[in-house]
Chain A
Amino acid sequence: MDTVVKIDKLVKKYKELTAVNEFSLEIKKGEIFGLLGPNGSGKSTTIGCILGLLKYDSGNIEVFGKPMKSDSYDSKRKIGVIFQNVAVFDELTVYDNIDYFCGLYIKDKETRKKYVEDAIKFSGLEDFTTFLPKKLSGGLLRRLNIACGIAHKPELIILDEPTVAVDPQSRNSILEGIVRLNREGATIIYTSHYMEEVEQICTRIAIMDTGKNLAIGTTEELKNMIKTGETITVEIKNASDGLIEEFGKLPHVIKTEYADDHLKIHYSKGERNVLHLVDFLKKKDLKFGKIYSELPTLNDVFLEMTGKELRDKA
């Protein structure tokens, strides 16, 4: 498989702050590559370096096998970017904005017209072509931002948190759209701090924190990297400390948490944990309510690797 983007030991500092620290990565053609990390972990900075917008302190970046320069027009032509912040002309309508940005890539009038119409259809903006950006809702504005980035049918599409502050409906249509673009042949780099999204669409994921690449792999691979297996929650009223300690001694149990009559038991990898647990409950003749098991999420992966929650406490 061809390598589309190759980052080798990238270091980028903003004065004293090291935003990206010895970050390495290789993205192959056809992937939907997720860059997952909390706010401030260095995702946008990495994107800026890939695109050749930012100066960086050391490291090496190749895009389509070549370093990015301001006159690497052949590479630039093949890239489409959806920036974190909406980047459009406030004074131009939806159609004009898409047509302008597409025009930076596509000189032929006929082709451009078709491409612009495709982009409008793709982002579901048919009814808003004559609107000015300020008249669009948050979700529609994001879709315009996307349309401006992909109208020229790029081979590599980079999306930097495209779903921030977007209603669930728009979010879904955006995610579906990304998968569709990928199926049509585009390689995708997708950054987000929402693990659900990344889990949902990405074929491979890098977990990033404080500028470092903590882990890289498919969702499955990442989950297998950590100790945590499943988490089983049982509803038990008034459990004593002694009893909880006994739960903690069951096989594969890493730790227990008890609050609001709910006992959370974290397991390492292991088979038939629920069954063993139910046996234990019966043996002890304990009354219990609901019991359910959750598989580890990327949040657990992140938690275990950094000791922090990935979710922003909004």
Chain B
Amino acid sequence: MFHLYKYRLKSFLKNREMIIWSMIFPFLLGTFFYAAFHSITEKSEKMDPVKLAVVCDEKGQFAEFIDSMKELKFLDPVFVKDEKEGKKLLGDEEVTGLVICGGSEMKPELDLKVRENGIESTILTSIFDTYLRNYQVITDVAKKNPLLITKTVEELYKDEEFTKNEPLGAKNADPFVTYMFALLSMTCMFSANFGHENTKQIQADQSGVGMRRSISPTSKMAAVFTDLMAALTVEMVIFAALYFYLGKVLGVVMSEEYGKVFLSGFLANLLGTSLGYFIGVILKLPAKTKEAIISAVVLFMNFMSGLMIQNIKYIIEKKAPVINRINPAALITDSFESLGAIDDPHKYVVCTIGVAVWAAVLMILSIIILRRERYDHV
């Protein structure tokens, strides 16, 4: 077994094209984001607070939140009495955005409208994203153990203190950090390419090597296992390198609970690899086409989880949150985020389980298909 693992690993490491693309792409994007956001961060220090029209119950919790944002000089809110008035301000370019707080006290709903997609709207999105997320923490805990509320609020408050001192590099969901986690998630999802490569080398109708292995007395399970472990080894090394690059070089606040980070990274890469396996075994198409499909699927999932436009995730969270609970890329992003940027153990557990379930389902389906006895053609 180890023998087979060793050589499969070796063949991956020597597959320069594959390694380079798996490494370069996330590192370049990370650095690119860093450069882009660095200039934003610098600007935002001098930048005026974002002008925003707010429609809400002025005594409610949301109003309190808006006030604290005002104190932090993130927002320059104008409380208006209804949507119409707010839209007028938005139309007259008096404000950058309009937020309407609806729903109940227990389950608030935020409707954010922005004038255009730009830095300011990104900031607005991230602020309200954070609000909703933290709000959920409070209510979740409240339901289960009301006595804990005070403690949780205290925790959140501590965070805010932190935020005051260091507005954007803080342990909080600022756009840069969110992008970086989305990037980390994308890297794991792109492990699909390794999974696909493995399916090429194991199926008799995909490659000569696959034919050789199919006629050998080594079982399919042993072959899948050694291949998978080899792929995961490479992926985890790339993951670790990227994790430390983002954390130590680019200064993103990353969790240092390495056990959990390893677990999340492992499961996330397993999910990505399983996705590649699944696409590799279920589609009867040329390898190049499958590669293109993998890229499209991964990028789409990551797009939905906020890789390119952060608002997307916010919009989905509001309109159809179930998508964020299902989308593998969003689950991975959230699991990293709840570990690093916002310390949210409950969410971490939920997302991690979600990732594990996805990985298991895709892998098991792939193995079932792979174990078939004969092929239509080779």
Binding site for B on A (CB under 8 A): 14, 48, 51-55, 69-71, 73-74, 76-77, 79, 81, 83, 85-92, 96, 99-101, 103-105, 107, 109, 132, 148-149
Known A53-B375, A92-B14; 14 more pairs at CB < 8 Å:
A52-B215, A53-B204, A54-B374, A54-B378, A69-B373, A70-B220, A70-B373, A76-B216, A76-B217, A79-B215, A81-B215, A88-B209, A91-B14, A91-B15
Quick check: A52 and B217 within 8 Å, CB to CB? Answer: no
Q: Which chain B residue has the least Cβ–Cβ distance from A82? A: B212
Q: Check if B209 sits within 8 Å of A105, measured CB to CB.
A: no
| Chain A residues whose C-beta falls within 8 Å of the C-beta of B373 in the assembled complex | 52, 69-70
Contacts of A51 in B (CB 8 A): 215
- With A53-B374, A55-B375 as known contacts, state yes or no: A83 contacts B208, CB within 8 Å: yes
Within 8 Å CB of A70, what residues of B? 214, 220, 371, 373-374
B42 close to chain A: CB less than 8 A: no
- Let me know if A88 and B14 touch, CB within 8 A: no
Residues from chain A with Cβ under 8 Å of B217 in the complex: 73-74, 76-77, 104-105
| 21 A-B residue pairs with CB within 8 Å | A14-B376, A14-B377, A51-B215, A54-B374, A54-B377, A55-B375, A76-B215, A77-B217, A81-B211, A83-B211, A88-B208, A90-B15, A91-B14, A96-B10, A100-B3, A103-B7, A104-B212, A104-B213, A104-B216, A105-B217, A132-B14
Contacts of B3 in A (CB 8 A): 99-100, 103, 107, 109
Contact A91 B220 (CB under 8 A): no
Contact indicator B215/A91 (Cβ below 8 Å): no
- Interface: B150 (CB within 8 A): no
Which residues of chain A are near B374, meaning CB under 8 Å? 52-55, 70
Query: Is B378 within 8 A of A53, CB to CB?
Result: yes
Residues of chain B within 8 A (CB-CB) of A101 are 212, 216
Whole-angstrom CA separation of A81 from B373 in the bound complex:
18
Interface centre among A74, A107, A109 (most CB of B within 10 A): A107
Give the size range of B's interface with the partner: 20 to 34
B68 within 8 A of A: no
The answer to whether B219 has its CB under 8 Å from any CB of chain A is yes
Q: Does B207 belong to the interface (CB within 8 Å)? A: yes
Task: Determine whether B289 belongs to the interface, using a CB cutoff of 8 Å to chain A.
Answer: no
Q: Give B contacts to A, CB under 8 Å.
A: 3-4, 7, 10-15, 201, 204, 207-209, 211-220, 371, 373-378
List of A residues within 8 angstroms of B376 by Cβ: 14, 54-55
Q: Name B7's contact: one of A14, A96, A105, A149 (CB within 8 Å).
A: A96
What is the CA–CA distance of A135 and B318 in the complex, to the nearest angstrom? 57
Most buried by B among A52, A70, A73, A91: A91
Smallest CB separation, B10 vs chain A (Å): 6
Chain B positions within 8 Å of A55 at CB level: 374-376
Which residues from A are CB-within-8-Å of B11?
Answer: 89, 91-92
Determine the distance from Cα of A86 to Cα of B209 in the docked complex, in whole angstroms.
9
- Using Cβ atoms and an 8 Å threshold, which residues of chain B touch A103? 3-4, 7
B212, A92: Cβ atoms closer than 8 Å: no
* Contact indicator A91/B212 (Cβ below 8 Å): no
Task: State A69–B217 Cα separation when bound (angstroms).
Answer: 11
Inter-chain contacts of B371 with A (CB < 8 A): 70
| Nearest neighbor of A145 in chain B, beta-carbon distance | B208
Are A53 and B215 touching (Cβ within 8 A)?
yes
In the complex formed, the residue of A with least CB distance to B7 is A100
Report the minimal beta-carbon distance from A201 to chain B, rounded to whole angstroms: 23
**Which of B11, B207, B220: most chain A CB closer than 10 A?**
B11
Question: Do the beta carbons of B7 and A92 come within 8 Å of each other?
Answer: yes
- For the complex formed, measure the closest distance between the CB of B126 and the CB atoms of chain A, giving whole angstroms: 43
Q: Which chain B residue shows the least CB distance to A107?
A: B3
Most buried by A among B12, B209, B219, B373: B209
The answer for the CA separation of A293 and B164 in the assembled complex, in Å, is 104
* Chain A residue at minimum C-beta to C-beta distance from B4: A103
Give the chain A neighbours of B375 by CB distance below 8 A.
Answer: 53-55
Q: Which B residues are CB-close (under 8 A) to A74? A: 217
Residues of chain B lying within 8 A (CB to CB) of residue A104:
4, 212-213, 216-218
Q: Name the CB-closest residue of A to B214.
A: A53
CA gap between A55 and B374 in the complex, in Å:
5
Q: How far, in angstroms, from A61 to B205 measured CA to CA in the complex? A: 21
Chain A residues with CB under 8 A of B214 = 53, 70
User: Which residues of the other chain, A, contact B10 by a CB distance below 8 angstroms?
Assistant: 91-92, 96
Nearest chain B CB to A136 CB, angstrom units: 15
Complex CA distance for A132 and B11, rounded to whole angstroms: 11
Considering the chains assembled together, what is the distance between the CA atoms of A77 and B211 in angstroms? Answer: 15
Residues from chain A with a CB closer than 8 A to the CB of B220 are: 70
